[in-house]
C-alpha cells in the first residue's frame, strides 16, 4: 500500500506550523492531524506566557508574592525542568528572560558568542 504524504498548515504560538504525515487516506490523515493540532492548542492555552489565563502567566504574576496551585502535568514539567537545570549546571533554563535580553528583536543586531 502506498501512503500519500498529507500536509496540514496551521498557526500556533505566533508562528506558522505544518504537520506532514503519511497515511493510507485523507480521512485518516485529517483525523490524526486534527488530534495533533488540538494537542498543540491545548499546550498553547496552558503554557503560553502571552495568555493571561495560562498557568505560566499566573505563576509569573505571583512570582515572589504567593504560591500558585497547579495541576500534576505542570508540576511534573517544572520538576523535570528543575532536574535538567541542575544536571546541566544551569545551561538548561526554561525561563526566557536571558534569551530575550540577548535577542532583542527591536534592535537589528545579532548577539555575540559571549552573550
Q: What is the pLDDT of residue 50?
A: 87
Question: Is 62 in the same domain as 84?
Answer: no
Mean pLDDT score of the chain, rounded to an integer?
A: 89
* Confidence tier at 39 by pLDDT (50, 70, 90): very high
Domain that holds residue 101: 71-115
Overall number of domains in the chain: 2
* Confidence tier at 106 by pLDDT (50, 70, 90): low
Question: Is 87 in the same domain as 63?
Answer: no
Closest CA to 44 of 85, 13, 19: 13
Question: Is 20 in the same domain as 6?
Answer: yes
Q: What is the pLDDT of residue 100?
A: 62
CA distance 115 to 92: 15
Provide mean pLDDT across the span 31-58.
95
Has residue 73 got a pLDDT over 70?
Answer: yes
Question: Is 82 in the same domain as 48?
Answer: no
Question: Is 86 in the same domain as 56?
Answer: no
Amino acid at each position: 500500500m502506498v501512503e500519500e504524504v498529507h500536509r496540514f498548515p496551521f498557526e500556533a504560538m505566533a508562528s506558522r506550523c505544518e504537520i506532514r504525515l503519511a497515511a493510507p487516506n485523507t480521512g485518516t490523515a485529517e483525523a490524526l492531524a486534527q488530534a495533533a493540532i488540538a494537542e498543540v492548542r491545548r499546550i498553547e492555552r496552558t503554557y503560553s506566557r502571552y495568555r493571561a489565563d495560562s498557568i505560566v502567566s499566573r505563576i509569573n504574576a505571583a512570582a515572589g508574592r504567593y504560591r500558585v496551585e497547579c495541576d500534576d502535568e505542570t508540576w511534573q514539567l517544572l520538576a523535570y525542568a528543575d532536574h535538567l537545570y541542575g544536571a546541566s549546571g544551569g545551561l538548561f533554563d526554561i525561563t526566557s528572560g536571558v534569551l530575550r535580553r540577548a535577542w532583542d528583536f527591536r534592535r537589528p543586531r545579532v548577539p555575540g558568542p559571549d552573550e
